[in-house]
């Protein structure tokens, strides 16, 4: 689940890229490098989150579980930002062709999104984290742009908690399209099951194959979502 731009007050594997406005550099990490940096990334997440006192540990452990699971996925990619300390990160993986990423989608999935998923042309960003004290106010956007630019795909995808309007507004201002709601189980409750989390499913056309029919991504509804 993507959890970023709220840190920005809304809107080194593959070569370093310094920002002209500051010293923040973007660097791609290999899967092995990502494994070795797990604890540092978890610390960054805690420092960047809005967790209440006493909730930091649970949030950190949940982040580590998500990161560990994502690292194991085929095609996992991670980008970090340094200034020179760790200032942010963004990571994700290609969406599986059978469409499990869209499980829980409310209603029919658009034909364009379904076709791009089945052909292996969708990359999901599952996390963006930016340290609140970085001077690069556009870092979250640069991270997601550079992460997607390194993938041979036609569509970016991400999920945003429907209750987090600041994050949702930031993504929409970057050109992402809201295509509907996905319901996912929330963390297990101790005494009773909790209501499912409502997530906004966002997509971003990246190449000529998707951009040729931008309206279709949001408005077609002739086919049902993948099973």
**CA angle at residue 16 from 10 to 20, to 5 degrees?**
55
The answer on pLDDT for 83 being more than 90 is no
Burial of 24 (0-12, 13-18, 19+ CB in 10 A): buried
Task: Walk me through the domains of the chain, giving residue ranges and CATH numbers.
Answer: 5-219 (3.40.630.30)
Could you tell me the pLDDT band of residue 194, with boundaries at 50, 70 and 90? low
Report pLDDT for 202. 97
Q: Average the pLDDT over 164-187 and give the result.
A: 90
Look at residue 203 and tell me whether its pLDDT is greater than 70. Answer: yes
Kindly report, residue by residue over 100-159, the tens digit of the pLDDT.
999 999 989 999 999 999 999 999 999 999 998 887 889 999 999 999 998 999 999 999
Report the distance separating Cα 131 and Cα 48, nearest Å. Answer: 5
| Model confidence, pTM | 0.81
For residue 135, give every residue at least 6 positions away whose Cβ sits within 8 Å of its Cβ, in sequence order, or none. 22, 24, 83
Give whichever of 18-32, 171-185, 191-205 has the largest mean pLDDT.
171-185
- Say which residue, 32 or 57, is predicted with more confidence: 32
Give 18's pLDDT tier (boundaries 50, 70, 90).
Answer: very low
User: Comparing C-alpha atoms, which of 3, 227, 214, 1 is closest to residue 117?
Assistant: 227
Residue 2: pLDDT over 80:
no
pLDDT at 94: 97
| CB-CB contact of 79 with 91 (8 Å) | yes
What are 37-76's pLDDT values in tens digits? 999 999 999 998 876 667 788 889 999 999 999 999 999 9
pLDDT at 208: 62
Write down the mean pLDDT value for the chain: 81
Token duo for residue 215: 């309206």
* pLDDT at residue 192, as a whole number: 47
């Amino acid at each position: 689940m993507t959890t970023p731009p709220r840190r920005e007050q809304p809107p080194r594997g593959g070569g370093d890229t310094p920002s002209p406005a500051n010293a923040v550099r973007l660097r791609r990490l290999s899967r092995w490098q990502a494994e070795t940096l797990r604890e540092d990334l978890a610390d960054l997440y805690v420092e960047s989150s809005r967790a209440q006192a006493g909730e930091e540990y649970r949030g950190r452990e949940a982040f580590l579980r998500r990161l560990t699971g994502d690292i194991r996925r085929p095609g996992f990619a991670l980008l970090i930002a340094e200034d020179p300390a760790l200032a942010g990160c963004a990571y994700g993986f290609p969406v599986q062709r059978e469409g499990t990423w869209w499980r829980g989608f409310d209603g029919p999935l658009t034909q364009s999104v379904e076709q791009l998923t089945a052909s292996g042309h969708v990359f999901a960003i599952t996390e963006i984290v930016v340290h609140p004290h970085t001077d690069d106010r556009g870092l979250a956007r640069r991270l997601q742009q550079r992460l997607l630019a390194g993938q041979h795909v036609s569509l970016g995808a991400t999920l945003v908690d429907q209750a987090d309007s600041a994050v949702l507004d930031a993504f929409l201002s970057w050109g992402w399209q809201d295509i509907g709601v996905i319901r996912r189980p929330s963390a297990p409750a101790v005494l009773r099951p909790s209501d499912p989390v409502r997530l906004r499913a966002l997509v971003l056309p990246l190449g000529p194959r998707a951009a040729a029919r931008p309206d279709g991504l949001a408005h077609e509804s002739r086919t049902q979502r993948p099973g």
